A and B are shown apart, each in its own frame.
Chain A
Amino acid sequence: MIDRAFYRIFAIVLRQYYLMRGSVSRVMPHFVWVAIDIVLWGFFTRYLGALTTAGGFFVPTLLGAVLFWDFFIRVMQGITMTFFEDVWSRNFINVFATPIRISEYVAGLVVCSSLTGFAALLFMLVLAGAVFGLPFFFAGLMAVPFLFVLFLFGIAIGIAGTAIVLRLGPASEWFIWPIPALLSPFASVLYPVTVLPEWMQIIARLMPPVYVFEGLRTVVTGGKPSVPALLCGGALAIGYLVLAGLFFLATFRRAVRTGLIARYSAETVS
């Protein structure tokens, strides 16, 4: 039973590997967009550094934060892009008429997303280090929990995004691409959460990345991050992951009940 589940998850990963191996346009987004971000923010931090006496801190605080935020985006889009392959090739009937369980399908999406997300992270670290002098371990050991929280939240948002597209139809993918941009003002990537107005702070405190970026700023300026705050971020990320999983499961069950899986290519925004 376990080996069959493993093979079914592997099938999703292998399919994505086949698609990426033969397609520059699929590989490029994982590296080109993040490279543009690193270069843009790298020069910006260098410029800011030249303007102020606190210049040395800008590279790890701003460029490091942008790098972590891009990792979150890559993880989230790793999930959605793998799912969109089935949308674009109208493959739902073929896939969901196989013995694959919905948990295995989602696990396949998560594995694909992990591989591309961590590959992009490594690429960004090398690029930021080589060009702008960002130390590879700029966040020290705290990078592990920081990245873990962002990874969980990226998976959660990715799964929720796929559920929205499954529910509303292929054209609704345009709701999904801007999600990171919509979240970013609240995520406090580039500034402390306290600069936000009160109502925005309330929303921000519900977002796991806030605890990561607050902690990151503390670490790179030589302070000790708040462990309870980071645990809170982790707990929120796990909570969102569970909710996203339940949302996807409920959406899939509804799609099977209403016949949406069988007729998915029809526009279904309703």
Chain B
Amino acid sequence: MIDKVLSVTGLRKVYGDTVAVDGISFTVGHKEIVGLLGPNGAGKTTTTSMVLGILEPNAGTIAIEGVSLMSHRSEVLQRINFAAVYAPLPGNLTVEQNLRVFGLMYGVRHLTRRINELLMQYDLIAFRNVKCGVLSSGEQTRVGLAKAMLNSPQLLLLDEPTASLDPATARDIRQKIREFVSRGESGVLWTSHNMYEVQDVCDRVLFLSHGKILLEGDPKTLPAEHGKDSLEELFITVAREPLTLEIG
């Protein structure tokens, strides 16, 4: 088995004169949750968009379990899924209809059974026939996560997955994602501004600033390694004074 779920090498994206992502390289291993952190405009969404195949990089490679996204787009996207606050599911379809349509697109086998499992798992049974547009933001987030789990992806990309959830539901969701990772061979790339959550969930974090990876390490030990009391304090330093942390 290939030892990395996601391998990103020399990834670069330029918009006009603006370098959004500047030659970054990183990996996500099996059973690993990697946090992609950074202030607004650091290049997180640009990076995840490129991994999702909806944005073409100017340079660099992306491979899922050794298979190139650029040359085997459809096959690779079969193994990925995502949930993001900026990509809600169509509000004019019901929860079940959305899961069925996307289940077909991802080629999920035994789809009805899988939908029922996910409705149960994400506490959505009562909303099965409710249009997504009338759900609360927390319920929509849970539907988005259920969609993201449809194909049991090898790589799961999560952008602020618990942003709209109450603390109890957020903890429950974190637990479900941890279980998903520990059960199979999947890896997760997790974007969040909630540093407590990141510290709790992630095995490793990457700090992005101005399109470059500034820091990388264990979220539990990284703050102390840089003379900070908490991950949040380290995040603020990355956002405000990245030069004080620049390495190499």
Cα A238 to Cα B159 in complex, Å, equals: 44
How many residue pairs link A and B with beta carbons under 8 A? The number is: 90
Majority SS at the chain A contact face? helix
CB under 8 Å from chain A, chain B span 216-248: none
Chain A residue at minimal CB-CB distance from B77: A99
Indicate which residue in A15, A95, A256 contacts B56 across the interface (CB closer than 8 Å): A256
- Of the candidates A14, A18, A98, the one having the most CB atoms from chain B within 10 angstroms of its own CB is A98
Residues of chain A within 8 A (CB-CB) of B52 are: 93, 97
Residues of chain B within 8 A (CB-CB) of A96 are: 53-54
Q: Taking A89-B91, A99-B105 as contacts, is the C-beta distance between A259 and B77 under 8 angstroms?
A: no
Cα A131 to Cα B178 in complex, Å, equals: 66
Is B82 touching A18 in the complex (CB atoms < 8 A)? Answer: no
Q: Is A8 an interface residue (CB 8 A)?
A: yes
Cα A258 to Cα B57 in complex, Å, equals: 9
Residues of chain B within 8 A (CB-CB) of A95 are: 105
Instruction: Looking at the assembled complex, report how far the CB atom of A257 sits from the nearest CB atom of chain B, in whole angstroms.
Output: 5
Indicate which residue in A4, A10, A85, A93 contacts B87 across the interface (CB closer than 8 Å): A93
Residues of chain B within 8 A (CB-CB) of A8 are: 104-105, 107
CB under 8 Å from chain B, chain A span 53-96: 85, 89-96
CB under 8 Å from chain A, chain B span 187-231: none
Q: Is B97 an interface residue (CB 8 A)?
A: yes
Contact with A along B82-93 (1 / 0, CB 8 A): 101011111111
Q: Is B102 an interface residue (CB 8 A)?
A: yes
Q: How many residues of A contact B (CB 8 A)?
A: 31
Is B74 touching A14 in the complex (CB atoms < 8 A)? Answer: no
Chain A residue at minimal CB-CB distance from B84: A93
Instruction: Looking at the assembled complex, report how far the CB atom of B13 sits from the nearest CB atom of chain A, in whole angstroms.
Output: 8
Cα A100 to Cα B100 in complex, Å, equals: 15
CB under 8 Å from chain B, chain A span 13-62: 14-15, 18-19, 23
Q: Is A11 an interface residue (CB 8 A)?
A: yes
CB under 8 Å from chain A, chain B span 31-75: 45-46, 49, 52-56, 73-75
Q: Taking A14-B101, A18-B101 as contacts, is the C-beta distance between A99 and B55 under 8 angstroms?
A: no
Residue ranges of B at the interface with A (Cβ–Cβ < 8 Å): 13, 15, 45-46, 49, 52-56, 73-75, 77-78, 80, 82, 84, 86-94, 97, 100-102, 104-107, 147
